[in-house]
C-alpha cells in the first residue's frame, strides 16, 4: 500500500486560509523561531525529485523554489516506501501546480487539493498529467474552463534593455501607478509591492519621475528563472518601454542563470508575438484549468 501524501502547510498559514486534510496527514508546524526547520527536508526532497526530471515541469519547479519566500502555501508529496510518486503545490492566490506519475497518484492529489476542502482557483500541469487528473476533476464538477498555456524560453539577452530594480523609495509612486492599472488586469497581478521589493523581484521603468511600467521575476531555480506581470501604462505615442524593461530583467537574470521562462495563454496572441520578437522560443505547452 502507498502512504498518504505528506501534506505540509507554510509556517505562516492561518488555519482558516488553508485546505482541510485529515489530522494524521498533517505534520506539526515548526517552532516560530525556526519556521522552516521541520519542512525543509520535505522541500528538499521534492526539489531533488523535480530536478531529476530535467525541466519536464518548469511551472511546478518555479513554484517550488518560491515557497521559502512566501507564506500560506500548501505542499503535498505522494510517496511509497521506495519512491516519490508525485508533488502538488497550491500557492497563496490559489494557483495549483502538479506532477504525478500515475492515475492513482493524480486521484489522491485531486481529493486532497481540489475536491475536498477549499478549492484552488487554477490548475497548471503537463499535458500528460492533465489526462490523468482531468477525469476526477470533471466527475466532481470543479472545472469551469480549460485552455492551453505556452511556456517560452529565452537564453540570450534581448538587445533593448532599460529599467531598474524597485526600491522602498518607489512605494509612493507605485501606489499611484497601481491606481492606473485597470481592475481586471490588477487582480491578475501580484501587487504586494513591499514584499516584492524586499525580495528584489520587482523591476520598473520611469518617465518624467513617474513609474510607467513594471515586471516581476520569480522562482528562481538554480539554473533558470521566470518573469510575469508585465504591464505598461498606455500612452498615445508608440513606446518601447515594455521591450526595454523586459530586456533589462532578462539580461540581469541571464547573468546568473542559463534560461528565463514566461508562461502565456495560447489565446493571448499579442503577448506571444511580443515575447517571440524579443527572442523567446516556444518550449512546451501546458494544460491550465480554471476551477470552481
Q: What pLDDT, in 10s, does the model give residues 90-100?
A: 998 899 999 99
Mean pLDDT within 140-161: 96
Q: Is residue 276 part of a domain?
A: no
Q: Is residue 169 part of a domain?
A: yes
Residue 38, CB-side half-sphere exposure with 13 Å CA sphere? 15
Mean pLDDT within 252-277: 97
Q: Is residue 26 part of a domain?
A: yes
Q: Is residue 188 part of a domain?
A: yes
Mean of the per-residue pLDDT values of the chain: 86
Q: Are residues 112 and 167 in the same domain?
A: no
Q: Are residues 21 and 128 in the same domain?
A: yes
Q: Are residues 100 and 181 in the same domain?
A: no
Higher pLDDT, 35 or 15: 35
**H helix intervals, 35-170:** 40-51, 58-66, 103-109, 127-139
Counted domains in the chain:
2
Under DSSP, the state recorded for 26 is B
Q: Are residues 160 and 249 in the same domain?
A: yes
CA distances, 243 to each of 79, 240, 249, 271, 277 (Å): 44, 5, 10, 11, 9
Q: Is residue 69 part of a domain?
A: yes
Q: Are residues 80 and 169 in the same domain?
A: no
Higher pLDDT, 4 or 137: 137
Identify the domain boundary among 148, 171, 194: 148
pLDDT band at 52 (very low <50, low <70, confident <90, very high): confident
Contact 36, 27 (CB under 8 A): no
Phi, psi values for residue 246, rounded to 5° = -60, -45
Mean pLDDT within 119-148: 94
Higher pLDDT, 68 or 200: 200
CA distances, 159 to each of 114, 121, 243, 245, 248 (Å): 43, 37, 9, 11, 9
CB within 8 Å of 132: residues ≥ 6 apart: 100, 102, 103, 105, 106
pLDDT the model gives residue 193: 98
Q: Is residue 1 part of a domain?
A: no
pLDDT band at 38 (very low <50, low <70, confident <90, very high): low
The residue segments making up the domain with residue 176 are 156-257
Q: Residue 16 pLDDT > 80, yes or no?
A: no
| pLDDT over 90, % of the chain | 65
Higher pLDDT, 47 or 24: 47
Amino acid at each position: 500500500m502507498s502512504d498518504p501524501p505528506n501534506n505540509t502547510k507554510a509556517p505562516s498559514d492561518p488555519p482558516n486560509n488553508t485546505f482541510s486534510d485529515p489530522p494524521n496527514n498533517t505534520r506539526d508546524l515548526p517552532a516560530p523561531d525556526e519556521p522552516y526547520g521541520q519542512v525543509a527536508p520535505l522541500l528538499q526532497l521534492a526539489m531533488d525529485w523535480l530536478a531529476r526530471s530535467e525541466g519536464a515541469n518548469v511551472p511546478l519547479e518555479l513554484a517550488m523554489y518560491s515557497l521559502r519566500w512566501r507564506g500560506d502555501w500548501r505542499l503535498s508529496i505522494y510517496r511509497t516506501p521506495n519512491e516519490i510518486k508525485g508533488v502538488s503545490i497550491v500557492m497563496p492566490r490559489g494557483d495549483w501546480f502538479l506532477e504525478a506519475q500515475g492515475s492513482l497518484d493524480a486521484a489522491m492529489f485531486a481529493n486532497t487539493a481540489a475536491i475536498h476542502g477549499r478549492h484552488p482557483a487554477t490548475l497548471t500541469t503537463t499535458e500528460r498529467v492533465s489526462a490523468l487528473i482531468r477525469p476526477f476533476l470533471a466527475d466532481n464538477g470543479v472545472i469551469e474552463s480549460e485552455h492551453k498555456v505556452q511556456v517560452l524560453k529565452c537564453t540570450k539577452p534581448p538587445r533593448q534593455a532599460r529599467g531598474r530594480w524597485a526600491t522602498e523609495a518607489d512605494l509612493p509612486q507605485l501606489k499611484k501607478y497601481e491606481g492606473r492599472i485597470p481592475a481586471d488586469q490588477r487582480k491578475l497581478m501580484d501587487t504586494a509591492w513591499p514584499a516584492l521589493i524586499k525580495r528584489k523581484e520587482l523591476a520598473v521603468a520611469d518617465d518624467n519621475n513617474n513609474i510607467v511600467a513594471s515586471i516581476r521575476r520569480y522562482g528562481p531555480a538554480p539554473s533558470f528563472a521566470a518573469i510575469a506581470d508585465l504591464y505598461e501604462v498606455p500612452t498615445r505615442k508608440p513606446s518601447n518601454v515594455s521591450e526595454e524593461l523586459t530586456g533589462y530583467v532578462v539580461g540581469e537574470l541571464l547573468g546568473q542563470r542559463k534560461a528565463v521562462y514566461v508562461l502565456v495563454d495560447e489565446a493571448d496572441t499579442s503577448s506571444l508575438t511580443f515575447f517571440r520578437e524579443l527572442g523567446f522560443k516556444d518550449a512546451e505547452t501546458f494544460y491550465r484549468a480554471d476551477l470552481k
